[in-house]
Structure 1
């Protein structure tokens, strides 16, 4: 280099990205799942290992190869929204209304924003308003009038939940929707953390899904990766020697992600910090004979660790994608071994209890990880009795108290999406209790 010349700044490669500035923490959890509505009910079912998979009831699935699913039973949307919003939206959004109210109540925040531009929304969705669209399209092609309802143009749209939530709660900060099949449920929290670094104090993140309609089930069946089992106890077996596909599910979780200083100023309870994240892509379509690229998935996991400034030996808990397809399970296990070596941290999944709800399923995995950190309890993995060849991991065989500070959640979406999220427990003395939210009350009642 000659005198007077200036060296170009060195840019660290992605895998060596420095820890991010700013701190984003989770202060509210809203869960609507087949295991229960509200995080306390859901968590009790998780620890008890209660399987909520059963015959599909949202439509007649008798003639389909897959007849089982995880449904949110007994869900009354009128408890969570007024009739005007309900007629404009799909069940997937109704689940989102409930999860949002639960999350805001859990965080101790008002239902209507006190400072609208201080609140943002970033949710994920991959299937949109299936039941609403199914009903309207059947009406279009089966009745002489050949018409659809006025709200068909918006209710099916994958951004409907974000739009409806932001309008109803008057959250006028940055808003957006992420679409990355099952991986977007993690990407939404990463995006929320970025929004907080850019100056938005409070962001709603997470996902809900309802991929249970004739059309939606048919689309999933094309992949050849759904389970055809009829016994709910044996239908969804990720990493097991009997693994033969996944069972679809509905539901999900919404989180209040908040600037740490903002949370501290109002004395909020903090579950954990969103400390690191990573996202990569296989650059290949999902096919029955392809198991996904373990190298790219491992890279996403490493990115989350690196950005959080956490070493592999510091991770206390891993929540995997756990698809339940033998080749995909082996690929995921190989990725975990690339990151952690011969012995992984305890690995646990609860998807066999409730089904795979795509983006909503990834959000439920985050909720389980947050609750494990908060309660200092390692939940038992479900669906695994005898690991299949290449799937021998350090599974948590029973639920037990255990010091937990760092959890790593992984997710993989069809057609090559890989995401990872690292959560770090914040040392706060407050306990996690059973939080209650009043149902929506119509004006004048």
Structure 2
């Protein structure tokens, strides 16, 4: 084993595109997918916009027997995992089962499935509750269903750290590959646009209450008032570099060369947030210096204090206006645990094509000394990318992605 972890396949399910090229062409064109909620009647709620995935019919991709067992997020995850395996040229049945594992992240589990079964319990009684409720709502269900469907019996698990979870799952996959598992499916897909999930998200106090899709989610802007939630994410095929080479992998998008996670101290401690430290530790883990980083994919919370903290950390590490910063999630909404893996996928494609995707709608506030890419994609050689994610409650995570080695 080489102890190097590379990305060989991408499976993307995003509000602005299903599949790699559909998502990437929409992202480079700056096509947003934020709009009024359609999955339930949100008119009576204070927040009414979301990034929804349109045009996805699970029955066109999955066998009928799986549909009664699964929440929407799991259906999206199963299809995304299949796309990622196809992109990597991996046929699971041709590999030893214990050489493949699944490590994903989850923000809320199968909320919509759970809501429907609880509704049946309250309105009809216990005998009307599906037996699948025992696992379909659970945080680990995506890892379990992907592993069962593809015969993957190696290390499997789930990470729950809100928005930071997607990067933490990738880091855990990297650890397992270093320990000897040749291939891990990792990343995250989340989907909780239902009334139960909506109330839970509103309770966090971070949702934008604007009804204007063009101004509702504007990180690093003086008009920032919170984020718009969305559904989807990305699953990645991570492999040991030697294993990928030995099987003749179709492509290597990049190498997961560094990771770090930190936790913000409590407000009464007198100590500051740990965002700057997570960047510095991820760079150190990668053996990378700030001048080598070509783009930062920001967490982009779109709340003034959180934006200030993130922008200040980027400025302190890299210098004022010294590195391009982007937040393509302004097109999709924040996908919770699925957001950062989608950013990792976007970073892979930025490396492939030499294009940094834009942040739409935002006008950079003069308070922040960052080089925010807006308006249109920026042409630039991308060899090293940093992806940041921050979870509610103090989670911070960062991943360094490098271009494939020649």
| Counterpart position of 1:297 | 275
Tell me which moved more, 358-367 or 201-210.
358-367
Distance 2:163 2:106 in 1: 8
80, 86, 92: which one aligns with 1:99: 80
Higher helix share: 2
Distance 1:318 1:293 in 2: 25
| Counterpart position of 2:59 | 78
| Counterpart position of 2:264 | 282
Gaps of 5+ in 1: 1-20, 429-445
1:414-445 C-alpha deviation (Å, 9 max, x unpaired): 011000000000145xxxxxxxxxxxxxxxxx
| Counterpart position of 1:330 | 308
Distance 1:421 1:293 in 2: 24
| Counterpart position of 1:391 | 368
Task: Please give the TM-score of this superposition, normalised by the length of structure 2.
Answer: 0.96
Contact in 2 for aligned 1:133/1:156 (Cα 8 Å): yes
Distance 1:73 1:360 in 2: 17
| Counterpart position of 1:359 | 337
Distance 1:384 1:102 in 2: 32
Contact in 2 for aligned 1:238/1:329 (Cα 8 Å): yes
Contact in 2 for aligned 1:113/1:119 (Cα 8 Å): no
| Counterpart position of 2:16 | 35
CA displacement at 1:144 relative to structure 2 = 5.2
Gaps of 5+ in 2: none
Distance 1:62 1:151 in 2: 31
| Counterpart position of 2:46 | 65
Q: Give the RMSD, CA atoms, in angstroms.
A: 1.7
206, 226, 236: which one aligns with 2:217: 236
Higher Rg of the two aligned structures: 1
Distance 2:223 2:321 in 1: 23
| Counterpart position of 1:171 | 152
Distance 2:263 2:351 in 1: 29
| Residues 1:407 and 1:140: Cα distance change in structure 2 (over 3 Å) | same
Contact in 2 for aligned 1:293/1:331 (Cα 8 Å): no
Task: Please give the TM-score of this superposition, normalised by the length of structure 1.
Answer: 0.87
Give runs of aligned pairs for residues 7-18 of structure 1, distance below 5 A: none
CA displacement at 1:234 relative to structure 2 = 1.2
SS of the counterpart of 1:112? helix
CA displacement at 1:352 relative to structure 2 = 1.2
300, 311, 314: which one aligns with 2:292: 314
| Residues 1:318 and 1:327: Cα distance change in structure 2 (over 3 Å) | same
197, 204, 222: which one aligns with 2:185: 204
Give aligned pairs, total: 402
1:163-208 C-alpha deviation (Å, 9 max, x unpaired): 0110110000000000000001111111111111100000001000
Distance 1:364 1:25 in 2: 16
Matched, 1:380 2:358: yes
| Counterpart position of 1:368 | 346
SS of the counterpart of 2:261? strand
1:295-321 C-alpha deviation (Å, 9 max, x unpaired): 411111111100110000110000010
| Counterpart position of 1:438 | none
Distance 1:353 1:147 in 2: 39
Contact in 1 for aligned 2:265/2:272 (Cα 8 Å): no
Distance 2:333 2:357 in 1: 17
SS of the counterpart of 2:225? coil
Distance 2:333 2:396 in 1: 20
CA displacement at 1:388 relative to structure 2 = 2.7
| Residues 1:32 and 1:231: Cα distance change in structure 2 (over 3 Å) | same
| Counterpart position of 1:214 | 195
1:136-158 C-alpha deviation (Å, 9 max, x unpaired): 11111122566411111100001
CA displacement at 1:283 relative to structure 2 = 3.7
SS of the counterpart of 1:276? strand
Distance 1:399 1:294 in 2: 34
Distance 1:231 1:191 in 2: 38
Contact in 2 for aligned 1:101/1:111 (Cα 8 Å): no
Matched, 1:187 2:164: no
CA displacement at 1:343 relative to structure 2 = 3.1
Distance 2:271 2:114 in 1: 34
SS of the counterpart of 2:326? coil
CA displacement at 1:62 relative to structure 2 = 1.1
